[in-house]
Amino acid sequence: MNPTIRGFDHRRVSVADGVTLNVAVAGSGSPVVLLHGFPQTHLMWRHVAADLAADHTVICPDLRGYGDSDKPADPDGTAYAKRTMAADVVALARALGYDRFALAGHDRGALVAVRAGLDHPRAVTHLAALDVLPTLDMWEVMRGTMAAVGFHLYLMAQPPGLPEQLIGAAPDAFFGHFLDAWTRDPDALPADVRAAYLRASREAVPSIVADYRASAGIDVAHDRADRAAGNTLRMPVTVLQQDWGAALGYDAAALWRAWAPDLEHRTVTCGHFMAEESPAEVVKALRALLAR
């Protein structure tokens, strides 16, 4: 049996034709939606969500294609566009009675959150992104041998067939690599939580690959269109990330500021899974964002 976020109700909510999301909900007050990253589920927010639920309605879905949410086929390359996944989030909030909400995302969820902020500025009141760059910038800074850290981005960008076959042949080794390599505090991912992440990921190989494939195609096209149009995030934005800029030779804050004029950018010393490794720091940053 999968671990759950203690005190949260779990339900399934229809957000699009043929797509239902698994979501954990608790608390009362102004709504905050928390989007998980790779290779995880909504469970990654268990510490942060429990704290925020003291005075907010906290909504933690599994993204489409992940966890216990539906995993639609992707015949034309649009089912896992971040635009599509962002529309899921807006539809989810509305189904739960909220037209406006704060939004925080980690990793893949942060890319969905950014797209939601760009496409639905009237719905997203505040936005937090944890340990990513916007999609277009990510590809532009990934160069040279240091870019080997992102080998999975290139693997899953390949046409359908080979990535799914390779990953599907040893899913626990593949997904487990990132759970191990990206954390500085192994105790932050207890055995039952790690097992739940691996189980969910091995059951979602085609949809996870489709999510990443979209980020090498249609998501880049959408970002380029926004950059050309001068479209930016209009709400207060907080970004927390490791100091990848120092390692890869770019100014992360400057890249983010081009998208988010009202920006608070901070580097952290914990590993990638910061909501689990340093939840108090994440909660503090989110509460400060919500007060802006």
* DSSP labels, 153-189: HHHTTSPSSHHHHHHHHSHHHHHHHHHHHT-S-GGGS
pLDDT, tens digit (0-9, with 9 covering 90-100), for 172-219? 999 999 999 999 999 999 999 999 999 999 999 999 999 999 999 999
180 catalytic? Reply is no
**Confidence (pLDDT) at 1:** 73
- If one counts every other C-beta atom within 10 angstroms of the C-beta of residue 47, the result is 18
Q: Give the separation between CA 79 and CA 83, rounded to whole angstroms.
A: 9
**Confidence (pLDDT) at 226:** 98
Q: Give the separation between CA 214 and CA 157, rounded to whole angstroms.
A: 8
**Confidence (pLDDT) at 248:** 76
For residue 286, what are the CA distances in angstroms to 56, 71, 160?
Answer: 12, 30, 38
Q: Give the separation between CA 110 and CA 127, rounded to whole angstroms.
A: 9
DSSP-assigned states of every residue in 108-152: HHHHHHHHHHHH-TTTEEEEEEES---HHHHHHH--SGGGGGGHH
The parts of the chain modelled with pLDDT lower than 50 are none
Token pair for residue 117? Answer: 């902020």
**Confidence (pLDDT) at 96:** 98
> Residue 211 in 3-state DSSP?
helix
**Confidence (pLDDT) at 197:** 98
**Confidence (pLDDT) at 247:** 73
pLDDT, tens digit (0-9, with 9 covering 90-100), for 137-170? 999 998 888 788 899 999 999 999 999 999 999 9
- If one counts every other C-beta atom within 10 angstroms of the C-beta of residue 151, the result is 10
Q: Are the CB atoms for 89 and 35 separated by under 8 Å?
A: yes
DSSP 30: S
Structural domains in the chain, CATH included, are 9-290 (3.40.50.1820)
265 catalytic? Reply is no
Helix 218-229 with 82-95: angle, nearest 10 deg: 80
Catalytic residue among 107, 137, 219, 226: 107
Catalytic residue among 106, 126, 222, 272: 272
Burial of 115: CB neighbours in 10 Å, binned 0-12, 13-18, 19+: buried
pTM for the full model? 0.97
**Confidence (pLDDT) at 34:** 99
Q: Give the separation between CA 128 and CA 104, rounded to whole angstroms.
A: 4
Arithmetic mean of pLDDT over the chain: 96
**Confidence (pLDDT) at 261:** 98
